[in-house]
Structure 1
Amino acid sequence: MTSPRAAYTPHMEHYTFVLEDQPYLGYFQYGGEKTPVHTTDRHGFRVTPGPGGQRATVGDDRPEGPARVLAGSSAVFGVGATGDAATISARLWNAHAPRLPWLNVAGQSHNSAQELLLFTLFQHELPPVEDIVLLSGVNNLVLSRLPEAQQGRHGAYFDCGPAPDAVPPPDRRLAHATELTLRHLRGWKVLADGLGARLTFVLQPLAPWVREEPLPREKLLFDELDEVSNFRRFHHDIATLPVGRAYARQLAAGCAALDVPFLDMNVALGEAAAPQDWLFIDRVHCTDLGYDLVAQQLADRLDLV
């Protein structure tokens, strides 16, 4: 019998999550990858295809002149998209905010410290940047399950140690993830101000924060993944709509104190999607439609053109 994942998302076999060990970052995508669903430049950044056969990457081709940056982790990289053209950055450049090229500055499984470090290490290769949209927040909360000994001074990262038998309560997890996210956002603010770029923080969508009940197809996919992972056991307490809204309130308050515009994409996506729209391949990564709706909401709500 064909599994739901094989039946509905056969392209996911090409997202293998095999990452290259990298100094400072810990791990990153391999450079020069070409699979049926994704392409990376010489450094490992995903290619953003644009109008008329143009391409935009950090390390290789891009049109001359200024650009915009979409930064984050695996959702920004576009895990779940059926091709480079279906990523958020590509949908922005080709449809919803096409005035400037969009650079995909994302590392799979990165926390907020790694996201900031990635941008810092490669800022010397960037053109003039008008906008930086940081779509993030989930990985810090996921990693908040790990004990203090694995958190270090700047937050835990994936594969930094064995999974615990017990996790902290939701309020402690929220406080820890919020503090780390805002701490590193201060660094983004310094960089953005120095570059003369507008910075916006967007809380990325998580399926149970968008709508409380998944579609039947989504539930089949989630249930299959839960059979081989510990997501439900470790994260059932944070994977609820009230926790998502509480996290958004805390981040919004911190962003206001930093004078950084904030958008909760969970609310925006929930309002934009029709009840029958299939949005998620797993709880963190979207379908092509989901990513397109995210791009549309970014353009509309952040006044991008």
Structure 2
Amino acid sequence: MKSPRAELAPQMEHYKFILEDQPYIGFFQYGDESTPVYTTDSCGFRVSHAADGRTAAVAGDRPRGPVRLLAGSSAVFGVGATGDHATVSSRLGTRYAPTRPWLNFAGQSLNSVQELILLNLFQHHLDEVEEIVLMSGVNNLVLSRLPESQQGRHGAFFECGPAPENVPTPEQRIALAGELTLRHAQGWQRFATAVGARLTYALQPLAPWVRERPAPQEKSLFEELDDVSNWRRLHNDIASMEMGRRYADLLREGCAAAGIGFLDLNTALGEAVSGDTWLFVDRVHCVDAGYDTLARVLAERLDLR
């Protein structure tokens, strides 16, 4: 008998999280990689679909003229999607906001400072940018459980050291993750101002922050993952809807003070679907329908065309 993951989400077999060692950001997708579910350009950015059947990539071919960026980590990369056509950037570029091509500006397992470093490393590919949506926030909170010795001045990153014996309180975790997230978001704001782009910080969805009860398919997938991973044990303290709202409120206030637009995709997504709609392949990443709904919600809430 197949496992729920093998039966419901066979595409996950091709998302191996095998990344190439890279200076400055630590790791990134391999360049010019083609699998049954994703394609990367020469620098490792995932290819997006654009209007009229064209494609668009940060370091690859794309329509001439201004572009829009969807930036972040693995959810923006589109882990869980059955193909390049199904990522949020592709759904924006082909259906919900197709007047400009959307570039998938994401690296798997990045924290907020690595996302900002990525912008600095590849801004020479970004001559004309009119819109930036930074869909992020979960990785900083996940990494906030690591001790001060691993946080350094700019926050911990994945694989930076052993698991801690003593974990900060949920309040401390939210405060640390929020401070780092807002600090680095201001770096994005300076870039956006310099190029004349609008920046919106969109707190990415986490399944238990979206709704109290998962869809039936999600319940099966989550239970299988909990049998083989320690996600629930490590992060149950920040996985409640209350913690998600507190984190969102902190980021909303900080973004307002910095003049950065803010959208909590958890409440927006929860309001956009019925309780039994299948959205997630795991607690962080979506299936095609989830990414499609996220793209629609972004376009509607940000008045994108």
Provide the TM-score with structure 1 as the length reference: 0.99
State the 1:206 CA deviation.
0.1
**Amino acid in the other structure paired with 2:73:** S
Q: Which stretches in structure 1 are left out of the alignment for 5+ residues?
A: none
Equivalent positions of 1:13-32 (< 5 A) are 13-32=13-32
State the 1:286 CA deviation.
0.5
Q: Partner of 2:98 in structure 1? A: 98
Q: Partner of 2:151 in structure 1? A: 151
**Amino acid in the other structure paired with 2:136:** S
Structure 1 stretch displaced more, 96-105 or 211-220: 211-220
Q: Partner of 2:280 in structure 1? A: 280
1:239-274 CA-to-partner distances (Å, cap 9, x unmatched) read: 000000000000000000001110000000000012
Q: Partner of 2:262 in structure 1? A: 262
State the 1:288 CA deviation.
0.5
1:207-246 CA-to-partner distances (Å, cap 9, x unmatched) read: 0000011122211111111122111111001000000000
Q: What percentage of aligned pairs have identical amino acids?
A: 65
Root mean square deviation, CA, Å = 0.7
Q: Partner of 1:56 in structure 2? A: 56
Equivalent positions of 1:70-89 (< 5 A) are 70-89=70-89
State the 1:165 CA deviation.
3.0
Equivalent positions of 1:229-248 (< 5 A) are 229-248=229-248
Q: Partner of 1:212 in structure 2? A: 212
**Amino acid in the other structure paired with 2:116:** L
Distance 1:10 1:24 in 2: 33
Contact 1:58/1:125 (CA < 8 Å) preserved in 2?
A: yes
Distance 1:218 1:125 in 2: 38
Q: Partner of 1:299 in structure 2? A: 299
Distance 1:52 1:67 in 2: 15
Contact 1:167/1:234 (CA < 8 Å) preserved in 2?
A: no
Contact 1:36/1:83 (CA < 8 Å) preserved in 2?
A: yes
Q: Structure 1 residue runs of 4+, over 3 Å off?
A: none
2:289 pairs with 1:289? yes
Q: Partner of 1:112 in structure 2? A: 112
Distance 1:227 1:275 in 2: 25
Distance 1:35 1:77 in 2: 14
State the 1:2 CA deviation.
1.3
Distance 1:34 1:228 in 2: 28
State the 1:281 CA deviation.
0.3
Aligned residues: 305
Which SS does the other structure have where 2:2 is aligned? coil
Distance 1:217 1:270 in 2: 17
Which SS does the other structure have where 1:130 is aligned? strand
State the 1:138 CA deviation.
0.3
Contact 2:31/2:44 (CA < 8 Å) preserved in 1?
A: yes
Q: Partner of 2:42 in structure 1? A: 42
State the 1:151 CA deviation.
0.5
Which SS does the other structure have where 2:68 is aligned? strand
Distance 2:141 2:43 in 1: 28
Provide the TM-score with structure 2 as the length reference: 0.99
